[in-house]
Chains A and B, each alone.
Chain A
């Protein structure tokens, strides 16, 4: 804690997870938030809300994560989650071609309906089911040496998804929520991609006074320590 005496500016970022059912959205969040994984996890009902901090060299990002249900039937829930979201994680299963089609639909909907500056990451999950999971582990160096030798279930090539992501200006990662491969990297990349301007509550064009440390000064905390006897600013 070299910088313990000078707390870093911190900002909240609303992030929404979207994608077809059973691609591993909740598992990615569970890995990121609790560094945990559950086989055969129950489907998410409705949605779930979780928070996790991400420490960058110059600031702390507090992710407020909305994990939506992939099997939502009436397409009515997602709009209230991606409304005002600064980031979206659109997940597909790289062993299931239909899930990429669904992901592309989500990307199009976000580009049409979400905040203009939203940062979108396209994430191909279940890399542990492919033959290159060991190779990827080498890159990240996280010690995942146990290559899945039961064959390669990959149905969507890295090239195909990556080209699409580049065309649409999306961040792109292939992950394994099961092994943890690339999971933190996705969130860190999103944190880095959020423009400073959307974190600062700048007061007009060119406002640069006091920098990012003013970020949260507008926010009122309803749960703060309140001294019932405090008379500050009170009329009584």
Chain B
């Protein structure tokens, strides 16, 4: 576009915020020939899905202490008095360390839009269950969840009877939409999946825990309908992009990296980017909006797309991000020959497996362990992302979970914690809101794995911008801008 003042242009769309959804919108519009101004009140990319160096994390925490940032609160940083922490910029801590299942629509869109070439995808390895010590002299341990048929056959962790039960369930899930299976689960559709597993499969507590862990349900009470869909996605994702893994994680901060790649595509397509620039005021004229930006600029646009930053209904989560001074090597071993070395492992500390202030925990704590292969910490260290439901003592629960996890990792000397970032995140608004000239996208998902349902809001926004003239089938389908030797990417 021409180099005139941004005030001289009637923008087709002003996008405010560089979170995943707004950035995917920029990507989808990158070849539309529309005039796009993409702004963000923050001085960093990624919004609620950003990834921070330790410096950036500190300024973020400081800002949260002085101003209301909507969804985030109670943020604080703790640096134990130990050595070993590297340069602040050697770290990239993700606010949203979501896994992306191989069958996620997001990956299909990144492939069809060719944006995937700029993302380095890593494998998410095994899922583990934390087992509390059985007696006072014993150590806690981690047990790997068998999640493939081969795994179930070969595992020594469960009894032959449990193996049969698990096999029966895996088979059921792969076929759960068939009329015959539907009859079995439909009466339970809105009831907790654990009840269905109990009633229909007569599973013992341990097997139920395995299954619930695979759903990554934050309260452990996921409904049968949602739970079966997630387990099916997990099973059909297994092996989709290579042996031995069901989900992926983008190097350098997960979803944050995808948001940045999407913004770069927007920039390559000619979108103008302004960080550290928010909307001060807006006025609606006949068929355009006039915005006054915090930079003092006044711009006019036919459509304004924002992310809704209001607190919605639904429970909040608590998060603890911990840098530890150990590579936690045993967590990141591939279990199948020819599988890529995983850089992420998932550990669940089930409800009731911890006792905090004399009371057993009521929801699970999930630990996503990231190796230095994610680019989020230096070699010889790891980053742990702990998540649980926000409760009055969630912080103590997470601290206790961290300690228990570390003592289960190494029996003689638990790895040292070098840095901790704690915060709470409220659920956002779940629906998009479309008016004549504005579109507010829903708030970020609190789900621990990529929630595809948010992609439809981005698609709607794209349709609104490109109008009737463009075939919907062209959504996110692009050819490479430069000739690419596909050998390069094998």
Interface residues of A (CB under 8 A from B): 12, 45-51, 53, 62, 64, 66, 69, 71-74, 76-77, 79-81, 83-84, 113-116, 197, 201-205, 207, 214, 217-224, 226, 230-236
Contact = CB atoms under 8 A, between A and B. Distances in A.
Interface string B228-271: 00000001101111111100100010000000100110111111
Given A46-B266, A47-B264, A203-B332, 19 more contacts: A46-B268, A74-B272, A76-B276, A84-B375, A116-B89, A201-B372, A203-B341, A204-B380, A218-B373, A219-B121, A221-B121, A222-B116, A223-B111, A224-B242, A233-B148, A233-B339, A234-B238, A234-B240, A235-B174
B479 to A, nearest CB: 14
Interface string B109-148: 0110000101011110000000000000000000000011
Q: How large is the interface on B (under 10, 10 to 19, 20 to 34, 35 or more residues)?
A: 35 or more
B82 interface: no
A230 B329 CA distance: 30
Given A218-B122, A235-B238, A203 B327 contact: yes
Q: Binding site of B, secondary structure by majority: helix, strand, loop or mixed?
A: loop
B111 A233 contact: no
A116 B54 CA distance: 13
Given A201-B373, A203-B332, A207-B379, A220 B242 contact: yes
B113 to A, nearest CB: 12
Contacts of A219: 120-122, 340
Contacts of A48: 268, 481-482
Contacts of B89: 113-116
Contact of A223 (B87, B272, B372, B489): B489
A226 B373 CA distance: 25
B239 A233 contact: yes
A234 B239 contact: yes
A114 B266 CA distance: 22
7 contacts: A47-B268, A203-B371, A204-B327, A219-B121, A222-B116, A232-B239, A232-B336
Contacts of A115: 89
Contact of B170 (A77, A232, A235): A235
B238 A46 contact: no
A205 B86 CA distance: 13
B3 interface: yes
Contact of A236 (B236, B243, B329): B236
B466 interface: no
Contacts of A236: 149, 174, 235-236
Contact of B123 (A73, A81, A220): A220
B90 interface: yes
B10 interface: no
A53 B490 contact: no
A53 B488 contact: yes
Interface string B303-339: 0000000000000000000000001010010001011
Given A47-B267, A49-B264, A76-B274, A223 B486 contact: yes
A16 to B, nearest CB: 11
Given A204-B327, A235-B147, A235-B235, A223 B123 contact: no
Nearest to B5: A73
B273 interface: yes
B7 interface: no
Contact of B239 (A84, A116, A201, A230): A230
B68 interface: no
Contacts of B482: 48-51
B45 interface: yes
A233 B118 contact: no
